[in-house]
Amino acid sequence: MTSSPIDAFIENDDEIVGLLGREWHRQLSTLQLIASENFTSPSVMAATGSILTNKYAEGYPGRRYYGGNLIVDEIEDLARHRLCHLFGADHANVQPHSGANANVAVYQALLEPGDTILALRLDQGGHLTHGSPASMTSKIWNFVSYGVTERTDDPANPGEHIDFDNVRALALEHRPKLIIAGATAYTRRIDPVIFREIADEVGALLMFDSAHVAGLIAGGSHPNPVPYADVVTFTTHKTLRGPRGGAILCREEHAKKIDMAVFPGQQGGPLEHVIAAKAVAFKEAAQPSFGVYTNQIVANARAFAAALSDQGFRTVSGGTDNHMVILDLRDFDAELTGKVAQEVLDIAGITTNRNQIPYDPRSPFITSGLRVGTAAQTTAGMTEGEFATIASLMATALRGRVDEAVLAGVREDVAALCANFNPYARFVK
C-alpha cells in the first residue's frame, strides 16, 4: 500500500498513521465524484498542517485579543486581500469555519429574529441553512421557499430550472428582508441579475450562496454575483479547491456588521492555519491555469451528463451548466433508490452521494436521485473520454448490482483508471 507524505511526521501513533494510509489509498484508487469535494494542492495541505495551528488570534488584523499576532495579521490580511482581488469585492471575511457558519453569520448581521428570508427549497437543491426544519436557522428566521419549474418531456425546455415567476410572486407576497440565490444541488447557471431585479422590486437584500460554484466564478466559468449581491458566501473546499472552510464577501456598507457577526457573534478563535491555506488557494485560483481547469470541469460535466443519459439515466434539468449532474434513477431502474445506488457504487469504487430530486416521492434518507460532480477527477487530469468511461462503469455496476463478480470487475477497472490519474503522483512511494 502506498502511504501519505504526512506519515513521516506522526510519531508514536500507528493507529492514526494506519488509518491515514488507508484513506490515502481509498482516495487515490477509487473515483471521487462527490460534487462538493476536490483534491487540494500539496501547498494547501502543507499550509493546513502548518505551525499556525498553535496560535490563538481572536479578533481581526490590528484588533486582536491576544498577543503575538503580528505575523498572523499579515497572513489574514493577505488572505483577505487576495480574496477581494479574486472576486472584485469590497470586503472579505475569511474566518468562517464552514459555509453554514458563513450563512448564519450573514443572517445574524443583517436580520432580526423572525425576519423573512426567501430561499430555494431544500428538496429542490437548497442548503440546510436555507431554512430546513432540521436547521436552527428555521427556528430563528421565517423562511419562505421558492422552487423549480415542473419537469417536461420537451428536450428543448426540460423544466427543473429556477422558477423566477415563483420567486417574484413569493417576494411580492411575503416581502422578505433577504433573498438567497444559490444552491447545493442545482445544475444550472444561476443568474444574479434577475435575483437583483426581484430583490430591488421588494426592497430586499440579496445574498448569493456560491458554495458550489465559487471556483467556477473565480475561473470565469460562471457569472460573478459580487457586483449584484449585497453579500456572497461560499465554502473554500469545493470547486475553489482550497482547505475546508468558509468565507464571506460583502459591500463595504455591511462589512462591520458581517465581521461582528462572525466574531464574536458566531465563532471564537479563527483557524489561522486554514486561513493561510485559503490564501494559498486564492493565489492558485488567480492563475490563468485555474480558468483552464474550471472550463474543463464544466466540459467534463456536460460530457458526463450526455454519457449518463446514453446509459439510460435521466439527468435532472436535462443536463448541466456547472460541475455537477443530478440523476433521476427511476428511468434507469424504477426499483433503484439513491441509497442503494450510492452503496453499490461504493463497493465498485465509485464515490457519490444520494440526493433528492425535485418532487421526489422518496425520503431524504432514501431518495430517487444521485448527485455526481467532476471537480475532483478533473483536478486529477481526467477529460471527457474518461467521464464517458465512468458513465459506462456506473451503469454496469448498477445493472449488475446483485452480482459480486460484476462489482469486483468494475472496481478493478476503476483502480486501473485511477492509477493513470493520480493527483499526488509525485508523492507515491
32 is a site residue for ligand DSN (CB under 6 A): no
Phi-psi region of 175 (alpha: psi -120 to 50; beta: other; left: phi over 0): left
Q: Which of residues 78-117 bind ligand DSN (CB under 6 A)?
A: 99
List binders of ligand DSN among 125-164 (CB under 6 A): 127
Indicate the residue among 101 and 184 with the shorter CB distance to ligand DSN.
184
Q: What are phi and psi of 162, to 5 degrees?
A: -55, 130
**By C-alpha distance, which of 186, 285, 281 is closest to 242?**
281
Q: How far is the CB of 45 from ligand DSN (least distance, A)?
A: 20
Clarify whether 235 is annotated catalytic: yes
Choose the catalytic residue: 64, 80, 177, 238. Answer: 238
Q: Which is nearer to ligand DSN, 41 or 352 (CB)?
A: 352
Query: Is 209 tagged catalytic?
Result: yes
Taking the complex as a whole, how short is the minimal distance between the CB of residue 297 and ligand DSN, in angstroms?
15
Q: Which three cell numbers stand for residue 282?
A: 486564492
**Is 238 in the active site?**
yes
56 is catalytic: yes
Kindly name the residue from 37, 76, 209, 328 that is annotated as catalytic. 209
Which residue has its beta carbon closest to ligand DSN? 36
Residue nearer to ligand DSN on the CB measure, 17 or 214 = 214
Cβ closest to ligand DSN, residue 69 vs residue 129: 129
The span from the first CA to the last CA of the chain, in angstroms, equals 9
343, containing H or E segment: helix 338-347
User: 3-state class of 337 per DSSP?
Assistant: coil
Q: Where are the alpha helices (DSSP H) in 311-337?
A: none
Specify whether the CB–CB gap between 285 and 216 falls below 8 A. Answer: no
4 versus 342: smaller Cβ distance to ligand DSN: 342
Angle at alpha carbon of residue 318, lines to 317 and 322, rounded to 5°: 75
- List for the chain the helix, strand, coil content (%; round to 5): 50, 15, 40
Q: Which is nearer to ligand DSN, 209 or 413 (CB)?
A: 209
- The answer to whether 320 and 302 have CB atoms below 8 angstroms apart is yes
Pairing type for strands 178-181 and 205-209 reads parallel
Min. distance of Cβ 211 from ligand DSN in angstroms? 6
* Number of residues engaging ligand DSN in binding (CB under 6 A): 4
Asked if 370 and 331 touch (Cβ cutoff 8 Å), the reply is: no
Catalytic residue among 233, 235, 320, 374: 235
Integer Cα distance of 287 and 364 in angstroms: 39
* Least CB distance to ligand DSN at residue 416 (A): 28
Task: Among 32, 101, 132, 184, indicate the residue that binds ligand DSN (CB under 6 A).
Answer: 184
Does the protein bind ligand DSN through residue 36 (CB under 6 A)?
yes
* Catalytic annotation, residues: 56, 58, 209, 235, 238, 244
Residues that bind ligand DSN (CB under 6 A): 36, 99, 127, 184
